[in-house]
């Protein structure tokens, strides 16, 4: 049974990096233990929470303790452990196959060069005829599908009919197939009338892993007895022939295996790409609202800031703060608050039309919209659309001091970036604009002029 040490996985930098990325993305405190309860990793003081199993192939390898949001981390860890197990199993399986191939190719130079059973059989006859006197020889295999005997190679010195040749040896062949032991018989005294004269015979089994798959039969019509040395040499030749036949059969199976392996590798690659995509999504999206998180906001703003500074093009930023959101949570509960945040995030997402625009949850009840190549007037229109559509959601808010519905205060700032300035200049300007919108009574849009 192949196992993966869950504890050892945490010694891999890339594995622990994934865990930290997930924890930071979800902003949760978790503790991870092995199957025996020994702590492996945590990112803070232990707090009560749910316990989730980390398992692979119906075997628990560890536990994760944390809030409900951490369940996706446990699922991802289970997937990663399963991937490690499958990669290890696949590697061992492939290694076993190639070791078996290498072993088979060491048997005999000539026989090992044969990649078909027919070629092995013909080479066996050619090699056996050199040191051992014979007038008739055949290589016979069992047909696995119908359990019938099939002569796959035959040679006779007098070119007699193939079906009649060695007919006198049929009972010996059946005995060797049944016992798996070689037989040598001299002075055969029972000769059927329609069979060629046979004076002596050696029949040796073709065995693969103790299974007799056929025989090699050699006959002599001359009154010259076979010796123990002949038997020893012939048995060694048939042993090599059996290994070469096994090699040829394995070659056919490996062609099928190679195709299957290629498909499996392609599937593993696709699964890995899917996992990487999911990890990227978890690392860049806010778990609650499914818009970009703060990390993605900072990264994208920095990238666009540098690009637009080179192009000397304008960039705008809109901050959206939900009015009196804490009283809303206190009045309607956190579940309602979460639903409200999700609805507003969707509203912001619909309000931007270009692929380059980015909606992000900036923190708490505050959202941000990055608008590359958008001037102040364009950003103002986007902010007004957001303001109207948030109010149009008609989400009741009895605790608001400005309306009986959920409203938002928005701040807009625009400028042409410069590499000597940091993006914080734009962030601070948009933040001041939001503050001014609140100072003016909330539920409005204010534009900071730079």
Active-site residues, by number, are 365
What does the H/E/C string look like for the chain? Answer: CCCCCHHHHCCCHHHHHHHHHHHHHHCCCCEEEECCCCEEEECCCCCCCEEEEEEECCEEEEEEEECHHHHHHHHHHHHHHHHHHHHHHHHHHHHHHHHHHHHHHCCCHHHHCCCCHHHHHHHHHHHHHCCCCCCEEEEEEECCCCCCEEEEEEEECCCCCCCCCCHHHHHHHHHHHHHCCCEEEECCCCCCCCCCCCCEEEEEEEEECCEEEEEEEEEECCCCCCCHHHHHHHHHHHHHHHHHHHHHHHHHHHHHHHHHHHHHHHHHHHHHHHHHHHHHHHHHECCCCCCECHHHHHHHHHHHHHHHHHHCCCEEEEEEEECCHHHHHHHHCHHHHHHHHHHHHHHHHHHCCCCCCEEEEEECCEEEEEEECCCHHHHHHHHHHHHHHHHHCCCECCCCCCCCECCEEEEEEEECCCCCCCCHHHHHHHHHHHHHHHHCCCCCEEEECC
């Amino acid at each position: 049974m192949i196992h993966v040490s869950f504890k050892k996985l945490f010694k891999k930098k890339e594995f622990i990096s994934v865990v930290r990325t997930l924890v930071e993305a979800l902003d949760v405190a978790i503790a991870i233990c092995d199957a025996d309860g020994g702590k492996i990793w945590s990112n803070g003081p232990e707090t009560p929470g749910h316990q989730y199993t980390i398992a692979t192939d119906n075997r628990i390898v560890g536990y994760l303790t944390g809030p409900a949001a951490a369940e996706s981390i446990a699922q991802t860890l289970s997937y990663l452990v399963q991937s490690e197990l499958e990669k290890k199993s696949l590697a061992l399986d492939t290694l076993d196959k190639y070791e078996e191939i290498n072993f088979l190719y060491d048997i005999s130079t000539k026989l090992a060069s044969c990649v078909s059973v027919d070629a092995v059989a013909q080479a066996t006859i050619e090699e056996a005829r050199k040191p051992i006197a014979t007038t008739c020889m055949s290589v016979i295999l069992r047909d696995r599908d119908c359990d019938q005997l099939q002569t796959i190679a035959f040679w006779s010195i007098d070119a007699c009919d193939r079906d009649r040749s060695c007919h006198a040896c049929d009972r010996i062949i059946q005995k060797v197939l049944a016992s798996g032991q070689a037989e040598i018989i001299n002075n055969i005294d029972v000769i059927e009338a329609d069979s060629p004269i046979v004076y002596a015979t050696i029949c040796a089994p073709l065995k693969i892993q103790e299974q007799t798959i056929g025989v090699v039969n050699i006959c002599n019509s001359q009154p010259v007895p076979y010796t123990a040395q002949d038997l020893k040499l012939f048995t060694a030749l048939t042993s090599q022939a059996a290994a070469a036949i096994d090699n040829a059969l394995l070659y056919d199976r490996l062609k099928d295996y190679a195709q299957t392996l290629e498909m499996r590798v392609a599937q593993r690659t696709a699964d890995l790409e899917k996992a990487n995509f999911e990890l990227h999504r978890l690392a860049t999206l806010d778990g609650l609202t499914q818009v970009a998180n703060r990390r993605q906001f900072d990264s994208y703003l920095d990238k666009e800031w540098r690009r637009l500074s080179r192009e000397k093009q304008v960039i705008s930023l809109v901050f959206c703060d939900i009015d009196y959101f804490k009283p809303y949570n206190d009045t309607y509960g956190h579940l309602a608050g979460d639903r409200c945040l999700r609805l507003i995030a969707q509203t912001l997402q619909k309000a931007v039309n270009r692929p380059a625009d980015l909606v992000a949850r900036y923190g708490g009840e505050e959202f941000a919209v990055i608008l590359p190549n958008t001037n102040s007037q364009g950003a103002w229109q986007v902010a007004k659309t957001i303001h109207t559509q948030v109010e149009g959601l008609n989400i009741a808010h009895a605790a608001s001091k400005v309306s009986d519905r959920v409203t938002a205060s928005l701040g807009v700032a625009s400028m042409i970036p410069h590499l000597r300035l940091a993006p914080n200049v734009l962030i601070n300007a948009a933040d001041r604009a939001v503050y001014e919108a609140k100072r003016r009574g909330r539920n409005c849009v204010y534009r900071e002029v730079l």
